[in-house]
Structure 1
Amino acid sequence: MTVLTIRLIPDDVLRQVCRPVDVFGVDLAALADDMLETMYAAPGRGLAAPQVGITQRLFVMDAYWKTGDPNPQIFVNPVIVERSDAMLTQPEGCLSIPGDLTDVTRPDAVTVEWQDVTGAPHRGTFDGFAAACIQHEADHLDGILITDPERAA
C-alpha cells in the first residue's frame, strides 16, 4: 500500500464534482486500500477521492478508530437517500484544510446506498459522528468544503 499526497486548499480538484465509478475490480480495491493507508497516516477519519486528486465518487472512512477498534469502510458511488429531521452541530476538521475546525450543522442520521469495490450494492443507516463523517466526505464528492457558507454553522 502507498500513502498518497493529500491535496490542500486552494487546489482546484477539491472544487470539482466527481464522476461515478464505472470500473470495479483490483485497481479500485488498490486505490481504496491506498486511501485508507493515507487516511490513517494523516491521521484522519475519512478521505474522499478528490482529496488525493481523483475525481471519482469514492470515499473511505473509519469514524471511531481513534477511540475504539478499527472499522475501515469503503463507499463507492454513495447516495444519501434519507436524512433525519434532528440536527447536530459539532466541530469538523478536514485533511485538506489543516488546522482549521469549523462548526457544521448536519442531520444527525442518514441512510446511504453505495457499492463496494466489486460493485455489490449496500445500504446502511448511520448516526452521530459517523453520519457527520459520511456527509462531510459526500460533500467532497460534490466539490463542497466545510468552510463554504452553506456548511459552516
Structure 2
Amino acid sequence: MNDLNGLLESALDESQRESTTQTKVEKPQLSKSERVRLYLKQHPGVRNKDVVAALSHHGVKAADVANVKAQLKRKAEKNKGKSEPAAAKSAPVAAETGAPADSSNSIDATVGLDVLELGMEFIRKSGGVNEAQHVLNLIRRIRQI
C-alpha cells in the first residue's frame, strides 16, 4: 500500500510540474462554439447577429451561432423527456468542468496498481493532466452523439 501511495504522490507531483510549465507557455483558448455557449448563457434571448457582433473579433460567424443554438435546442429536447434521479443530475456538471464529482483526494481502493500505472502512462503520453482531462472530455462528448 505504501508503494501505491508513493507512486500516486510522485505521479501527482510530476503532473503538476508538467502542467504548470505548460500553462505558462500556452493557455488553452476557448473554441468558437464554447465562446458562443458562454455568451448565450450570460445573455439569454439575444439575437444571432448580436452574438456575431459581440464575438466577431474571435472569428464567430452567423452560421456558428446558429449551429450552437441548434445543438443546445436538441440537447434540451433530448433531456426534456428524461427524468433523472438527483444523483445523476450532478454528474454532468462534474464532467463538464473536468473535476471529479467528489473533490476530496481519496483513493479508490478498488483500483489496482496496474490500472494506476496505465493511467500514468496515459497522462504522460497526452502531455499532462490537463491534456488528459481534455481528451477524456472529448471522448465523453463523442459518446453522447
Q: Same fold (TM over 0.5)?
A: no
Specify the TM-score bucket, using the shorter chain as the normaliser: under 0.3
TM-score (norm 2): 0.24
Of the two structures, which has the highest relative contact order with CA contacts closer than 8 Å and spacing of 6 or more?
A: 2
* Higher helix proportion: 2
TM-score, structure 1 length as denominator?
0.23
Of structures 1 and 2, the larger Rg is shown by 2
Structure holding more strand per residue: 1
